[in-house]
Amino acid sequence: MAYDYKTVYEKQSAFYQKRPKLKRALVLFNGVATVSFMLAYAALIALTFIYFRGARRYIKTFALPIACLATVTLLRRLIHKPRPYQTSGANITPLLKKTDGENESFPSRHLASAFVIATLFCAYFPWTGIPLYLCSILLAYTRFALGLHYPSDLLFGAGLGLIFGIPSFFI
């Protein structure tokens, strides 16, 4: 059976449309998780300077996420894949519509950032890995459920985050 994005999304959307509190929770989690990953990265930078010494540590803390973000930005500009709710997309009605003029969805910048940050944390503080990866996976589901990304956007973004984060274990 072929995967039909629109049908799957409409079932998700209908579930949340019938439950306004859960819909608000999704929107809230999307914002809170996004800010939390930014704050986590800022904390990681501070912790790197406090607990670790050496240029290699600083380089991996800065260079890997920047390289990941630059790659995602370049791919988004080259590919120009519209968001699912845009007329050239799947023609769905999203639970949350972007209003900032950002019309490129592939790959997901949120997921690439979340996974590279989770992987960096895991390299420095292994016990942080599971909660951060779980939060990243929940963020992926949230971005899909809100109608902001296709699953391929999310998988590719997460994959890029892992690809750019894994070298942190070896640097």
SS3 of 46, please? helix
Q: Which residues pair with 82 in a beta bridge?
A: 104
Residue 69 near residue 165 (C-beta atoms within 8 A):
no
N residues, the chain: 171
Kindly report the number of other CB atoms within 10 A of residue 6's CB atom: 12
Strand partners, 104: 82
DSSP code, position 83: P
pLDDT at 87: 66
Give percent above pLDDT 70 in the chain: 93
User: How much is the pLDDT for 31?
Assistant: 94
Q: What is the DSSP letter of 81?
A: P
Across the chain, how many H-helices and E-strands are there?
A: 6, 0
User: Over 70: is that where the pLDDT of 99 sits?
Assistant: no
Backbone angles phi, psi at 104, to 5 degrees: -105, 130
Mean pLDDT of all residues in 78-105: 77
Helix (H, G, I), strand (E, B) or coil at 82: strand
Give the mean pLDDT of 41-67.
88
Model confidence pLDDT, tens digit, residues 115-163: 999 999 999 899 998 999 999 999 999 999 999 999 999 999 999 999 9
First to last CA, the chain: 44
Question: Does the structure show a pLDDT above 90 at 67?
Answer: yes
